[in-house]
């Protein structure tokens, strides 16, 4: 079924990927993980290594439309879904192997933006990234056959600007540009990942890059959202007249669509306003000094060629890294990753690129001196998202019956070079990640297939706390952050951590982050599930304590 199409489409890419990947990365070691896989004869398919998995972005045309204008995603305290939603079609997986699919959203560059004069302009340096969180698809882990059977939807993923978010939503800073990434991780025997040899690969679709906002800046985007998002149907003007009753106001007179009006106003406005320009850093100046992603983020949208991309000024360079990685045992892989990256720019858009493990910014990190050090800690945490669970979860996307895990979020650490440098171990976060696989999480609800280790705590780590309390500390920055997770790498240097969790408390990384508000109460209404992951690192499996 799907495969057919997909395969056709992807062929090219695949080959590319392979080559590169293989060369650098380890050729498929994935096998270790085979637990599941082993049984399978992979005979037919070309190689079913994780590197050969093809991923096609669903509704790419729609994404492109948004991207041409400069996609904006609303972020709210309560969490807002993305629209277009992130959905992919996956092919060339080993039908019997179990995989975990997750999405993370990393900074696309190191700038803060401002919408002036009807255009996005750089307005200073980006704020330090928060520890990234990962959104694990609710069906994870599931077999290749399951994933390939239908579209894999991440529509329930929510974005928030609440650094203390207790729900497990992905935390972003407003007016910053981000790049969503899909990671496919081979599940280990326990249906988790985290083992040392966990194999995984990352796919990036440049057209899904967006700038986070608390309210739409470009009316063209507002318009596209209204026209395409079913929930915004109420704002669609009636065709012709565009007469719409303005009930909101309680008035009954027909009005020109607000959008239109708005646009006009805006435009006129913008002219006036325009000038401010960018230079402002908006105040925040927060000294970012320390943090830096590196300049080169790989992510950018970039296609140089693509005109569209340009909407976001600066962003990036075109290149992306491409690669897939497998982890080997410890952390070394990171390094590998670094090297490999090469630009792929060209391809463009559409497709995805394989990345190295390290997240984009990470990559940068890699380059940095810090990288090396930092890397170690990467870890990811997961949160269960609240929502997920419930029914909807299933529905949404695909659905699945399996049901395994509902949503989970993972957090990745971000890189804050500074700290890392110091050598402080961030373990804290690490811990989260940790071993995850094994541990999986828990969640209050036992439902999860995974292992329920601890329980739920919700919080895994709380970013928030981190931020506030320790601003500095962010966890490991470097490395972990990057890595998306999973795969492990961490070096172990030390930190193994794990964390565990207390039930109520969020996880605190070692340091404490204290406060997590949350707690259980939060919402968990539903089941949250949490996973903890560990990257491969060394053994860390959690230590639980």
Partner DNA sequence: TCTAACACTTC
Partner DNA sequence: CGAAGTGTTAG
Span 460-519, contacts to DNA by CB under 7 A:
none
Q: Are strands 176-186 and 199-204 parallel, antiparallel or unpaired?
A: antiparallel
Q: How far is the CB of 349 from DNA (least distance, A)?
A: 23
Determine the Cα–Cα distance for residues 274 and 311; give it in Å rounded to an integer: 16
Residue 162 makes contact with DNA by CB under 7 A: yes
Q: How far is the CB of 71 from DNA (least distance, A)?
A: 11
Residue 156 makes contact with DNA by CB under 7 A: yes
Q: Which is nearer to DNA, 62 or 282 (CB)?
A: 282
Residue 150 makes contact with DNA by CB under 7 A: no
Q: How far is the CB of 213 from DNA (least distance, A)?
A: 6
Reported in sequence order, the residue ranges of 152-305 that DSSP labels E, i.e. its strands, are: 152-153, 158-160, 170-171, 176-186, 199-204, 210-213, 244-245, 254-255
Span 257-316, contacts to DNA by CB under 7 A:
258-259, 262, 282
Tokens, residue 319:
């290149």
Nearest to 55 by CA among 184, 143, 177: 184
Q: Which is nearer to DNA, 74 or 382 (CB)?
A: 74
Tokens, residue 168:
């497990």
Q: How far is the CB of 406 from DNA (least distance, A)?
A: 13
Q: Is residue 294 within 8 Å of 361, Cβ to Cβ?
A: yes
Determine the Cα–Cα distance for residues 484 and 136; give it in Å rounded to an integer: 12
Span 204-263, contacts to DNA by CB under 7 A:
213-217, 222, 225-226, 229-235, 245-250, 258-259, 262
Q: Which is nearer to DNA, 43 or 249 (CB)?
A: 249
Q: How far is the CB of 489 from DNA (least distance, A)?
A: 33
Q: How far is the CB of 450 from DNA (least distance, A)?
A: 23
Tokens, residue 480:
């972990």
Among 31, 150, 290, 392, binds DNA (CB under 7 A): 392
Tokens, residue 216:
């739409």
Nearest to 191 by CA among 41, 408, 445: 408
Reported in sequence order, the residue ranges of 67-172 that DSSP labels E, i.e. its strands, are: 72-74, 80-81, 87-91, 98-116, 119-125, 132-136, 142-143, 152-153, 158-160, 170-171
Q: Which is nearer to DNA, 226 or 486 (CB)?
A: 226
Q: Is 294 helix (H, G, I), strand (E, B) or coil?
A: coil
Q: Which is nearer to DNA, 165 or 303 (CB)?
A: 165
Q: Which is nearer to DNA, 76 or 543 (CB)?
A: 76
Span 67-86, contacts to DNA by CB under 7 A:
74, 76-78, 80-81, 83, 85
Residue 60 makes contact with DNA by CB under 7 A: no
Q: How far is the CB of 140 from DNA (least distance, A)?
A: 19
Q: Is residue 509 within 8 Å of 465, Cβ to Cβ?
A: no
Determine the Cα–Cα distance for residues 248 and 245; give it in Å rounded to an integer: 8
Q: How far is the CB of 309 from DNA (least distance, A)?
A: 21
Return the number of other C-beta atoms located less than 10 Å from residue 75's C-beta: 26
3 state SS for 453-476: CCCCCCCCECHHHHHHHCCCCCCC
Among 35, 118, 150, 390, binds DNA (CB under 7 A): 390
Q: Which is nearer to DNA, 284 or 332 (CB)?
A: 284
Q: How far is the CB of 231 from DNA (least distance, A)?
A: 3
Q: Are strands 98-116 and 142-143 parallel, antiparallel or unpaired?
A: antiparallel
Among 13, 114, 149, 326, binds DNA (CB under 7 A): 114
Q: Which is nearer to DNA, 385 or 481 (CB)?
A: 385
Q: How far is the CB of 193 from DNA (least distance, A)?
A: 27
Q: Which is nearer to DNA, 25 or 393 (CB)?
A: 393
- CB neighbour list of residue 265: distance below 8 Å, 6 or more residues apart: none
Q: Which is nearer to DNA, 116 or 482 (CB)?
A: 116
By CB under 7 A, how many residues form the interface with DNA?
A: 45
Nearest to 378 by CA among 328, 419, 432, 326: 432
Tokens, residue 431:
């811990």
Q: Which is nearer to DNA, 10 or 467 (CB)?
A: 467
Q: Which chain residues interact with DNA by CB under 7 A?
A: 74, 76-78, 80-81, 83, 85, 114-115, 156, 158, 161-162, 174-175, 213-217, 222, 225-226, 229-235, 245-250, 258-259, 262, 282, 387, 390, 392, 395
């Amino acid at each position: 079924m799907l495969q057919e199409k997909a395969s056709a489409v992807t062929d090219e890419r695949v080959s590319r990927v392979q080559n590169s990947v293989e060369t650098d990365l380890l050729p498929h070691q994935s096998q270790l993980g085979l637990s599941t896989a082993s049984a399978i004869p992979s005979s037919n398919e070309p190689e079913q290594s994780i590197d050969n998995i093809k991923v096609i972005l669903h509704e790419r045309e729609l994404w492109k439309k948004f991207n041409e204008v400069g996609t904006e995603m609303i972020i709210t305290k309560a969490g807002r879904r993305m629209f277009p939603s992130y959905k992919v079609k996956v092919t060339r997986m080993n039908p019997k192997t179990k995989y975990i699919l997750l999405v993370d959203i990393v900074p696309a560059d190191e700038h803060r933006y401002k919408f002036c004069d009807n255009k996005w302009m750089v307005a200073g340096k980006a704020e330090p990234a928060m520890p990234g969180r990962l959104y694990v698809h609710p069906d994870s882990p599931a077999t290749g056959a399951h994933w390939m059977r239908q579209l894999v939807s991440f529509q329930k993923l929510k974005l928030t600007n609440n650094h203390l978010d207790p729900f497990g939503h992905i935390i972003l800073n407003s007016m910053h540009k981000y790049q969503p990434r899909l990671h496919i991780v081979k599940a280990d025997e326990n249906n988790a990942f985290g083992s040392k040899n966990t194999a995984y690969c990352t796919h990036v679709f440049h057209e899904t890059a967006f700038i986070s906002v608390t309210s739409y800046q470009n009316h063209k985007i507002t318009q596209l959202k209204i026209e395409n998002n079913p929930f915004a149907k109420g704002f669609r003007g009636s065709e012709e007249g565009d007469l719409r009753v303005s009930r909101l106001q309680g008035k009954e007179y027909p009005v020109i669509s607000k959008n239109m009006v708005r646009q006009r106003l805006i435009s006129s406005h913008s002219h006036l306003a325009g000038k401010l320009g960018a230079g402002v850093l908006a105040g925040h100046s927060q000294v970012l000094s320390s943090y830096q992603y590196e300049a080169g983020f790989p992510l950018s949208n970039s296609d140089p060629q693509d005109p569209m991309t340009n909407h976001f000024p600066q962003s990036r360079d075109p290149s992306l890294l491409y690669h897939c990685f497998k982890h080997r045992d410890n952390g070394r892989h990171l390094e590998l990753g670094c090297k490999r990256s090469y630009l792929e720019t060209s391809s463009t858009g559409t497709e995805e690129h394989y990345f190295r493990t390290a997240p984009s910014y990470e990559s940068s990190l890699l380059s940095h001196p810090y990288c090396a050090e930092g890397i170690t800690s990467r870890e990811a945490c997961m949160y269960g998202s609240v929502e997920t669970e419930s029914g909807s979860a299933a529905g949404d996307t695909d659905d699945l019956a399996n049901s395994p895990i509902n949503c989970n979020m993972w957090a990745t650490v971000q890189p804050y070079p500074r700290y890392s440098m110091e050598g402080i171990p961030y373990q804290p976060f690490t811990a989260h990640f940790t071993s995850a696989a094994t541990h999986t999480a828990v969640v209050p609800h036992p439902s999860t297939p995974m292992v329920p280790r601890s329980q739920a705590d919700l919080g895994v780590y709380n970013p928030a706390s981190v931020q506030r309390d320790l601003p500095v500390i962010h966890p490991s920055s470097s490395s972990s952050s990057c890595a998306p997770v999973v795969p492990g790498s961490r070096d172990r240097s030390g930190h193994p951590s794990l964390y565990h969790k207390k039930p109520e408390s969020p996880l605190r990384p070692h340091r404490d982050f204290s406060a997590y508000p949350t707690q259980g109460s939060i919402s968990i209404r539903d089941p949250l599930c949490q996973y903890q992951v560990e990257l491969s690192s060394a053994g860390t499996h959690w230590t639980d304590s």
